[in-house]
Copies of this chain bind each other. A is one copy, B any other.
Amino acid sequence: MTGFDLFTPINNEMIIVEERLIHSIDTELPELNQAATHLVKAGGKRLRPAFTLLVAKLFADSVETVIPMAVALELTHMATLVHDDVIDNSRLRRGQPTVKNEWGNRISIYSGNYVFAKSLCLVAGYQRSDLLKVLADASMRICEGEIRQMLSCYNIQQGMKDYLRRIERKTALLISVSCQLGAMISQASEGQITALKRYGYYLGMAFQITDDILDFVADEEILGKPVGSDIRQGVITLPAIYALKYGNQREQLGKLLSSPELCTKEAEAIIALITETDGMDYAYHVSNRFADKARQQLDLLPDVPVKKSLYDIASFISGREY
């Protein structure tokens, strides 16, 4: 089974999401249009809209009504990506040149603001301020997470708790909100909404931990970015935190990881020092625990075929080969 198969129940709706994403960029300004369209067309896993749609399918066969929200969530996600690329000075994302690389900082910042504003217009269309509140709260906390990640670079004192809080904001929150909003629009009960919000949260945690593991091992073709790009930028993830605490050569590793210069120059040596500890296995284990918790949330939900997809996605995400 591939990750793609898991989205079969919503294949048709995802095609519509893709079209609407492209059409959502409707500015007359050529530079903004090109940059924002590039951002949308650069693709990605479209995880957030997929979850909104899958969750909606739990409650109804026809999920037309959640499509604008699914599009809005992907636009919100893109707005954070384009700003991150400015901040990280990234050349590539998903194997394609970033907006920053092609159009520079200015257009990138404004393109991010534009697609976020566009996302709000779509949310406004629902005429429900409870939906806006969820998204606005999440956006605020995502900003905090981004600053937290920035400040934690090259910091070898950070622990597991710092890491978890960071990835919660960076990834889990918006996936959680994608599930929650899908449920809210689908007239789910309060209990079901909470369960799905938690499902998304745990799944997002599992997803980011696996993503961080993959950064040590997957090759550029799979990841769309060079191996070890976290290390090179001083982003200390779970395997590194483990190795800094329990590894035999933790002192040497600490010296390397706390120096921006050595993180770039000695990235391969750092990766070797981390992968020879049990850090990857440990991270894999933590990711699995979150995936277990995600699956547990599904008990309360209607027994319809799409429930199995949500279940399998949790297993697939934490079980990605490394």
**Residue of B with least CB distance to A135:** B120
Residues of B within 8 A of A140 (CB): 27, 114, 117-118, 121
A31 in contact with B124 (CB, 8 Å) = no
Residues of B within 8 A of A124 (CB): 129, 132-133, 136
Known: A87-B105, A105-B87, A147-B29. A123 touches B117 (CB 8 A): no
**Residue of B with least CB distance to A122:** B136
User: A19 on the interface (CB 8 Å rule)?
Assistant: no
The 5 A-B residue pairs with the shortest CB-CB distance in the complex, in nearest-first order: A120-B136, A117-B139, A124-B133, A117-B140, A114-B143
**What's the least CB distance linking A204 to chain B, in Å?**
19
User: A62 on the interface (CB 8 Å rule)?
Assistant: no
**Residue of B with least CB distance to A150:** B106
B31 in contact with A110 (CB, 8 Å) = no
A146 interface neighbour in B110, B120, B150, Cβ under 8 Å? B110
Residues of B within 8 A of A116 (CB): 113, 116, 139
A87 interface neighbour in B106, B139, B144, Cβ under 8 Å? B106
Residues of B within 8 A of A137 (CB): 117, 121
Residues of B within 8 A of A133 (CB): 121, 124-125
A120 in contact with B147 (CB, 8 Å) = no
Residues of B within 8 A of A12 (CB): none
CA gap between A144 and B111 in the complex, in Å: 9
Residues of B within 8 A of A135 (CB): 120
Cβ contacts A62-86/B at 8 Å (1 or 0 each): 0000000000000000000001001
A136 in contact with B117 (CB, 8 Å) = yes
B120 in contact with A31 (CB, 8 Å) = no
Residues of B within 8 A of A132 (CB): 120, 123-124, 129, 132
**What's the least CB distance linking A141 to chain B, in Å?**
8
A139 in contact with B110 (CB, 8 Å) = no
B151 in contact with A31 (CB, 8 Å) = yes
CA gap between A124 and B127 in the complex, in Å: 11
Residues of B within 8 A of A114 (CB): 140, 143-144
**Residue of B with least CB distance to A105:** B87
Known: A114-B140, A129-B129, A139-B120. A147 touches B32 (CB 8 A): yes
**What's the least CB distance linking A240 to chain B, in Å?**
21
User: A161 on the interface (CB 8 Å rule)?
Assistant: no
Additional A-B contacts beyond A110-B146, A124-B133 (15; CB < 8 A): A28-B144, A29-B144, A32-B144, A32-B147, A105-B105, A107-B147, A114-B140, A117-B136, A120-B135, A120-B136, A120-B139, A124-B129, A124-B132, A124-B136, A129-B132
